[in-house]
């Protein structure tokens, strides 16, 4: 042995009973195409692929049926020809036993390949550059076939100079023989793959590490690699876990991969022989990864052997091909007895990382003995190949002190199971470590999510502040404009403006209403009112004031006042409420406090503005309410909408809530019926009576929003009625007639409907 071939060693580890000869008696058999293929979208580490086929579509072997989503992802190809019958969640071979999205293909038995491969096969790949090779490997959907399923193309783009490529042919776990047989039977393809990978990563040479219990594989590889002096086959001692990536590196090079690091950190890249072969076939024959070697073995399998099985083949189909069970299996595992995991059933598909299906007889593997207390013997520590303190890790993992397990380098644990194997108390140590690892990952995820939430919340706060500032500025501008316009206005308009001013700053609808009422009164008092009416400036001012008061009132709510959606909701609600209440929608119902007789334009404007405000308070705009032509009616609709909205905000879909809301709206309407007191003497009289009644009701009844508002409303109603009586008749007979009719109808309805609400 030359110095070059000197082998190092790793600490710990075990000699196990390998039982590999069970499955190596027959050569690799190509498994037939099963009737149905189930292809999980996530067979690799990283993001699941995205389906690019539809249910019912016919697919051919080698056709891409799912594209990678993101960088750490690879595509998935149809393993045979057939029809996509479902894209749905199916149980996948995962330790959690959970389901994940899969593409299900009913095969047609013809196994038709694509007429032309999706990329061109290349005879002489030495002419290809690294980028093309990587892209080919990615398009072929190759993920590490050793078990972890890491997308291989990423390992082909190391981003730094690589000293040595290592092919991990140690296959140290008992029972599994897929790599062994592949190396023995397809050594030339593996060597071809090695050459492709060397080309892609620009490494000067390659070491193929094979345990000394696989002489046929060693001989075949040596023969195949004889032509290429870059490739050396190294025989390593048979010792578990020799096939651990980091252990093999230590054995072959004497160097250790740093804690929580990658082999690349010390200039090494490790691939599995199956991956090398898949790379070769992808480049040389333009074949995507649609099949892999799977060992089907175990004490209850009639003829244990290795299959070249299509990805997506149901495991039970492979077991049937191997002669079926001789007795019901005690344990069904994917992977080996040391690092594999239990499967809930054999109705799961073979995926890219399925190296072995192990159906063991009861008691064939480690007996299921009840765990005993830890006696602190330290055997686990001696067996650990990565120099950890399994016992300490166990205590902390069990106690939920995950930060301490992390400090003890939990993440360097390769979960080889040596510690649990030697534990005299049969403590399932590895499960504790896996538990701790997944808990830490979950915690990290939560932390990341919390950080993102904090960031988003802060960004939102900043945005709201900015918007508020902008609104404030706009408000100031508007105020200045208003002041300028006020100066232009007739001096006779000053009192109403002054009267309305207090409303500007308030955010209370009651106060706003008081201000509005004052404005109206002042307007009526100033001369004969007609002067005010005819002055559009005054009207505009009043309207603007009212609007502003309304917007101040709503400054806390960010709903845009003119939001058509809100309006639509309000309208719909008002309609609904009205319908439920027996149709008082047309009734001239206005809440008493906004009862100004609509004989003067200022008052009308105020009413309109108030209506808008009321609507806004309910997140609504009355424009859509049916009688949109008439400010009074608008106000009515708005008030109703508001009431209805407020009352029934809880659940519009719930009929009970709806009915209650409607009833309340109706009552509110009735209560307010008095108000719109029009200028018609009849209506006026009715209004007077109603106002009194309303006042009485308002003070007495418990259905108004709050006692203050109620009292004010009552007072307002009375005054409004008086005003209505006193003011000269409006000049518009049509409006008068409508108002009168509405008042009448409202009165009738109010009389019809007994006090149902509250």
Partner 1 sequence: MLAAIIALAALAAVFGIGLGFAAVRFKVEGDPLVEQIDKILPQTQCGQCGFPGCRPYATAIAANEAEINQCPPGGEDGIVKLAELLGREPIPLNPENGVAKAVPTVAVIDENICIGCTKCIQACPVDAILGAAQQMHTVIATECTGCELCLEPCPVDCITMEPIADTPRTWRWPLPASEPQTAEAA
Residue 560 as a binder of partner 1 (CB under 8 A): the answer is yes
Asked whether the beta carbons of 190 and 156 are under 8 A apart, the reply is no
Residues 296, 273: Cα–Cα separation, whole Å: 19
In terms of CB distance, is 407 or 442 closer to partner 1? 442
Q: Is 102 labelled as part of a ligand binding site? A: no
**What is residue 19's three-state secondary structure?**
coil
What's the chain's length in residues? 758
What's the closest the beta carbon of residue 143 comes to partner 1, in angstroms?
A: 15
Residue 645 in contact with partner 1, rule: CB under 8 A: yes
What would the two tokens of residue 448 be? Answer: 């990341």
- Number of residues this chain uses to bind partner 1 (CB under 8 A): 55
Ligand-binding annotation for 172, yes or no, is no
- Judged by CB under 8 A, the stretch of 115-123, 554-562, 688-696, 710-718 that binds partner 1 is 554-562
Candidate residues 52, 85, 100, 711; the one interacting with partner 1 per rule CB under 8 A: 100
Can residue 434 be called a binding residue for partner 1 (CB under 8 A)? yes
Both tokens of 3, joined, read 């110095």
- Out of 459, 579, 700, 708, the residue judged to bind partner 1 by CB under 8 A: 459
Closer CB to partner 1, residue 131 or residue 445? Answer: 445
Tell me if 401 contacts partner 1 by CB under 8 A.
Answer: no
- Output 568 or 726, the one with its CB closest to partner 1: 568
Q: How far apart are CA 591 and CA 613, in angstroms?
A: 13
How far apart (Å, rounded) are the C-alpha atoms in residues 393 and 401? 9
418 is in an annotated binding site: no
Angle at 521 between CA 515 and CA 527, to 5 degrees: 135
d(C-alpha 66, C-alpha 290), whole Å: 13
Helices (H), 489-599: 494-505, 509-525, 530-534, 536-553, 564-580
Task: State in angstroms the smallest separation of the CB of 365 from partner 1.
Answer: 16
**In whole angstroms, what is the distance from residue 710 CA to residue 722 CA?**
18
Binding mask 653-682 for partner 1 (x = CB under 8 A): x-----------------------------
Establish whether 206 is an annotated binding residue.
Answer: no
d(CA 750, CA 734) in angstroms, rounded, equals: 24
Q: Tell the smallest beta-carbon distance from residue 92 to partner 1 (Å).
A: 7
Between 95 and 751, name the residue whose CB sits nearer to partner 1.
Answer: 95
What is the rounded CA–CA span in Å between residue 549 and residue 617?
Answer: 12
The answer to the question of residue 651 lying near partner 1 (CB under 8 A) is yes
Q: Applying CB under 8 A, which part among 2-10, 71-79, 88-96, 212-220 lies near partner 1?
A: 88-96
Whether residue 241 has a cis bond before it, omega within 30° of 0: yes
Of the pair 4, 98, the CB lying nearest partner 1 is at 98
Identity of the residue, 86 or 100, whose beta carbon is nearer to partner 1 in the bound complex: 100
Q: In angstroms, rounded to a whole number, what is the distance separating the alpha carbons of residues 309 and 355?
A: 11
- How many beta carbons lie within 10 A of that of residue 508, not counting itself? 14
| Residue given tokens 């809301």 in the structure block | 661
Q: Enumerate the H helices of 177-327 as residue ranges.
A: 178-185, 187-201, 215-225, 245-253, 273-284, 315-321
Instruction: Give burial (CB, 10 Å; 0-12/13-18/19+) of 640.
Output: buried
- State which residue, 498 or 557, has the beta carbon closest to partner 1: 557
- Segment near partner 1 (CB under 8 A), from 256-264, 422-430, 543-551, 663-671? 422-430
What's the rounded Cα separation, in Å, for the pair 139 and 121?
Answer: 13
Q: Is 96 in the site for partner 1 (CB under 8 A)?
A: yes
Q: Does 384 count as an annotated binding residue?
A: yes
Contact mark string toward partner 1, 436..455, x via CB under 8 A: -xxx-xx--xx--xxxxxx-
In which region does residue 55 sit, left (phi positive, over 0), alpha (psi from -120 to 50) or beta (all else)?
Answer: beta
Selected binder of partner 1 within 652, 689, 711, 715 (CB under 8 A): 652
Q: Does 471 bind partner 1 (CB under 8 A)?
A: no
Binding mask 7-46 for partner 1 (x = CB under 8 A): -----------------------------------x----
646 is an interface residue for partner 1 by CB under 8 A? no
In the complex, least distance from residue 563 CB atom to partner 1, rounded to whole angstroms: 6
User: In 3D, which of 277, 40, 39, 290 has the Cα closest to residue 140?
Assistant: 290
Q: What does DSSP assign to residue 491? A: G
Q: Which tokens belong to 139?
A: 């398009």
Structure tokens at 689: 């009576």
Question: What is d(CA 122, CA 412) in angstroms, rounded to the nearest whole number?
Answer: 40
Identify the bridge partners of residue 29 per DSSP, sorted by sequence position.
Answer: 307
Which residue from 1, 3, 98, 483 is in contact with partner 1, where contact means CB under 8 A?
A: 98
d(CA 493, CA 63): 82
Q: Is 413 annotated as a binding residue?
A: yes
Indicate which single residue of 1, 4, 370, 483 sits in contact with partner 1 (rule: CB under 8 A): 370
Beta carbon nearer to partner 1, 564 or 728? 564
Residue 339 found at the interface with partner 1 (CB under 8 A): no
Q: Which residues are annotated as a binding site?
A: 374, 377, 380, 384, 413, 416, 419, 423
Contact residues: partner 1, CB under 8 A = 42, 92, 94-96, 98, 100, 370-375, 398, 425, 427-428, 431-432, 434-435, 437-439, 441-442, 445-446, 449-454, 456-457, 459-461, 558-560, 563-566, 568-569, 619, 645, 649-653
Q: Which residues are annotated as a binding site for [4Fe-4S] cluster?
A: 374, 377, 380, 384, 413, 416, 419, 423
């Amino acid at each position: 042995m030359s110095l070059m071939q000197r082998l190092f060693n790793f600490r710990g580890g075990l000699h196990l009973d390998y039982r590999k000869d069970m499955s190596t008696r027959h050569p690799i058999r190509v498994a037939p195409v099963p009737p149905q293929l189930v292809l999980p979208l996530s067979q690799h580490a990283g993001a699941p692929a995205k389906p690019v086929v539809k249910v019912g579509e016919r697919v051919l072997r080698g056709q891409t049926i799912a594209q990678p989503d993101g960088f750490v992802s690879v595509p998935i190809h149809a393993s045979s020809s057939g029809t996509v019958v479902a894209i749905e969640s199916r149980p996948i071979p995962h330790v959690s036993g959970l389901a994940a999205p899969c593409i299900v293909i009913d095969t047609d038995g013809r196994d038709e390949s694509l007429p032309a491969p999706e990329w061109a096969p290349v005879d002489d790949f030495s002419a290809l550059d690294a980028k093309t090779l990587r892209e080919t490997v990615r398009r072929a959907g190759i993920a590490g076939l050793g078990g972890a399923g890491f997308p291989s193309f990423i390992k082909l783009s190391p981003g730094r100079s690589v000293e040595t490529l290592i092919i991990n042919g140690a296959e140290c776990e008992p029972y599994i023989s897929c790599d062994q047989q592949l190396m023995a039977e397809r050594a030339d393809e593996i060597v071809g793959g090695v050459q492709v990978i060397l080309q892609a990563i620009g490494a000067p040479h390659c070491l193929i590490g094979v345990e000394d219990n696989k002489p046929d594989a060693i001989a075949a590889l040596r023969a195949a690699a004889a032509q290429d002096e870059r490739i050396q086959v190294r025989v390593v001692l048979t010792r578990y876990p020799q096939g651990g990536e980091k252990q093999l590196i230590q054995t072959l090079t004497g160097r250790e991969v740093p804690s929580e690091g990658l082999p690349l950190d010390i200039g090494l890249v490790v691939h599995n022989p199956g991956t090398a072969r898949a790379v070769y076939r992808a480049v040389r024959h333009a074949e995507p990864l649609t099949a892999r070697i799977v060992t089907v073995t175990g004490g209850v399998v009639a003829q244990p052997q290795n299959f070249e099985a299509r990805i997506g083949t149901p495991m039970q189909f492979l077991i049937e091909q191997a002669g079926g069970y001789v007795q019901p299996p005690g344990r069904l595992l994917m992977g080996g007895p040391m690092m594999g995991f239990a499967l809930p059933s054999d109705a799961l598909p073979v995926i890219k990382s399925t190296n072995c299906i192990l159906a063991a007889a009861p008691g064939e593997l480690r007996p299921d003995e009840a765990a005993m207390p830890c006696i602190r013997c330290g055997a686990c520590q001696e067996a650990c190949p990565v120099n950890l303190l399994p016992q300490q890790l166990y205590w902390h993992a069990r106690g939920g002190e995950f930060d301490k397990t992390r400090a003890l380098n939990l993440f360097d644990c390769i979960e080889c199971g040596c510690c649990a194997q030697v534990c005299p108390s049969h403590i399932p140590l590895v499960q504790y470590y896996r538990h701790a690892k997944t808990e830490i990952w979950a915690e990290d995820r939560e932390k990341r999510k919390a950080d993102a939430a904090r960031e988003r919340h802060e960004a939102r706060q900043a945005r709201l502040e900015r918007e508020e500032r902008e609104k404030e500025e706009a408000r100031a501008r508007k105020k200045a404009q208003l002041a300028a316009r006020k100066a232009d206005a007739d001096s006779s308009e000053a009192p109403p403006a002054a009267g309305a001013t207090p409303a500007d700053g308030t955010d209370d609808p009651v106060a706003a209403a008081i201000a509005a009422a004052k404005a109206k009164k002042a307007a009526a008092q100033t001369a004969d009112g007609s002067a005010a009416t005819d002055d559009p400036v005054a009207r505009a001012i009043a309207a603007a004031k009212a609007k502003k008061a309304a917007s101040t009132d709503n400054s806390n709510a960010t709903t845009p006042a003119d939001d058509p959606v809100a309006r639509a909701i309000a309208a719909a609600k008002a309609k609904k409420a009205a319908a439920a209440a027996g149709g008082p929608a047309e009734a001239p119902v206005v809440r008493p406090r906004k009862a100004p007789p609509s004989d003067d334009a200022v008052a009308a404007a105020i009413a309109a503005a108030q209506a808008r405000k009321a609507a806004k308070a309910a997140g609504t705009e009355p424009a859509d309410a049916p009688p949109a032509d008439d400010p009074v009616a608008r106000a009515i609709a708005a008030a109703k909408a508001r009431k209805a909205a407020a009352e029934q905000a809880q659940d519009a879909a719930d009929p009970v809530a709806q009915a209650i809301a409607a009833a309340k709206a109706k009552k509110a309407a009735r209560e307010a019926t008095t108000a719109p007191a029009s200028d018609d003497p009849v209506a006026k009289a009715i209004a007077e009576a109603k106002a009194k009644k309303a006042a009485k009701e308002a003070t007495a009844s418990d259905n108004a929003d709050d006692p203050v508002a109620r009292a004010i409303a009552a007072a307002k109603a009375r005054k409004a009625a008086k005003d209505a009586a006193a003011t000269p008749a409006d000049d518009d007979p049509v409006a008068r007639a409508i108002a009168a009719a509405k008042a009448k109808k409202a009165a009738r309805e109010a009389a019809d409907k007994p006090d149902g609400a509250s």
